[in-house]
Amino acid sequence: MKNFDKSILFKQSELGLLPSSWKVERLGSLTSHIIDCLHEKKPDFIDEGDKIYFEVYNIGKDGFPDLTEINHVTDEVYNNWIKRLKPQHRDIVISKTGRVGAVTILPYGYNFCIGRNQVLIRTESTKILPEFLLLYLYSSNFKGELKRLTTDGTILKSLHVKYISQIRVPLPDIDEQKAIVEIVYSLMIKIKNNEEMNLTLDSFAHSLFLCWFVRFDPFRDGEFEESELGKIPKGWKIITNNDLGKIYGGGTPSTKKREFWGGKILFATPTDVTRLSSPFLIETERKITESGLANCSSKLHPKNSILITSRATIGFVCINYRETSTNQGFIIIRPYKEELLYFILNHIKHCVPEIIAYAGGSTYREINKTTFKALKLIYPSDNLLTKFHNIVKPLYERVRNNVLENQTLKTLRDSLLQQLFSGRLRVPNPEKFLVELNELN
């Protein structure tokens, strides 16, 4: 009973020690519908409409849908894909192949049909709240159940729909479910709001970059002159990427030497960057030791260096928040001056197609340092560069602070989920808690 609240009575259950007042129920007994997707070819999409084909990639990383990229279908296609059940607000969607166990809850106001490799779950709300089920399926406590029910396929692991009804769910009464949801869901919504704000701020900064430095909108009434990249505002010039900052590549210490790994030095791989939802790299999955750094070709790059993926997945870009080393899948720019930082970030975002066009390689495409250094760009006056920096700097600082806050909130969320779903942490009087919460609102 170590680490358990001594005032709580526990009992042994199929899922281990749980509060004595809780039950363990099979998901099938808590739902009105568990509906498999249609096993049909993916339909043709149309450019716009109010019917959305919900894909596995629309299941966001933090329990909420990711609707940044959506596919529209005709009414005829939609009606075919909802013939088993029409999705509605607060239905749960879980992935059964690929990202096995990825889960989300459907928002209000959309006409979704559930695409391939997903299962739609509709709860009996008198028995279990949809949001409570979402939190359980999202929590680390569910991992054991997922592993128990997942089967190995020829190519991918899968969670067969027939096993989903057998998922064992730790179940407190409805008031305690509501209290748990109120506590954790507010954190998740704050995380989501921060990420949406970051997208908005980053988008605004990039739109300003395009307006000023690509379309020249504010300068159209001024004088222009010819250049090797076309007409540009008078007084601007053509430079190369090499003029923006000191440019480096990366390297990896021997993976056969354990003494090189598991240290405190951040070691970025392209995966660390491609999974980011903001332009800032705060952490890396792997870390190396001082001896690992000394025995590879990567430098330790200072905070506010620009990291650009240079092979396979080319052109993902970020700014490191802490000193970072990288593997050989990067080109790194250390800006010559602070005012260049966000100009370079947005310049790289804009010129990704050009970078990819200059990439070579037969096994996988790669842009090498020499080629990258020589790529040319239009460079504004120093005064305009400083003006741009002063406008977007506070926007990116807010983005960075939101990322740091979300890191703390996610740690708190995961800890709360683990403790609440094991019963180690209880809401002493859920009914009173909910009444007081309503009074505050």
- Domain positions in the chain are 23-171, 172-218+383-441, 237-379
pLDDT tens, position by position, 344-390: 999 999 999 999 999 987 778 899 999 999 999 999 999 999 999 99
Helix axes 174-213, 382-422, angle to 10 degrees: 170
DSSP string, 342-390: HHHHHHHHHTHHHHHHT-B-SSS-B--HHHHHH-EEEE--HHHHHHHHH
Q: Is the pLDDT of residue 154 over 70?
A: no
Superfamily for 237-379? Answer: DNA methylase specificity domains (3.90.220.20)
pLDDT at 155: 55
pLDDT at 424: 85
Residues in the chain, overall count: 441
The number of helices, as runs of H, and strands, as runs of E, in the chain is 12, 25
pLDDT at 1: 36
Give the residue-averaged pLDDT of 162-168: 93
pLDDT at 399: 98
Confidence of residue 411 (pLDDT cuts 50, 70, 90): very high
Q: Is the pLDDT of residue 310 over 70?
A: yes
Q: Is the pLDDT of residue 6 over 60?
A: no
Alpha-helix runs per DSSP H in 96-238: 130-138, 143-149, 161-164, 174-213
Confidence of residue 423 (pLDDT cuts 50, 70, 90): confident
Confidence of residue 2 (pLDDT cuts 50, 70, 90): very low
Domain 23-171 has CATH 3.90.220.20: yes
pLDDT at 249: 96
Same fold, 23-171 and 237-379: yes
| CA 402 to each of CA 199, 278, 321, 370, 413: distance values in angstroms, whole numbers, following the listed order | 11, 10, 13, 36, 16
Confidence of residue 271 (pLDDT cuts 50, 70, 90): very high
What percentage of the chain exceeds 70 in pLDDT? 94
Residue 231 has which token pair? 């007409």
Domain 172-218+383-441 has CATH 1.10.287: yes
Q: Is the pLDDT of residue 234 over 80?
A: yes
Position 390: which residue type?
Answer: N
Give the residue-averaged pLDDT of 258-275: 96
Mean per-residue pLDDT of the chain: 92
pLDDT at 431: 67
pTM, full prediction: 0.86
Instruction: Please check whether residue 104 is in contact with residue 112, taking contact to mean a CB–CB distance below 8 angstroms.
Output: no
Nearest by Cα to 231 from 416, 65, 434, 378? 378
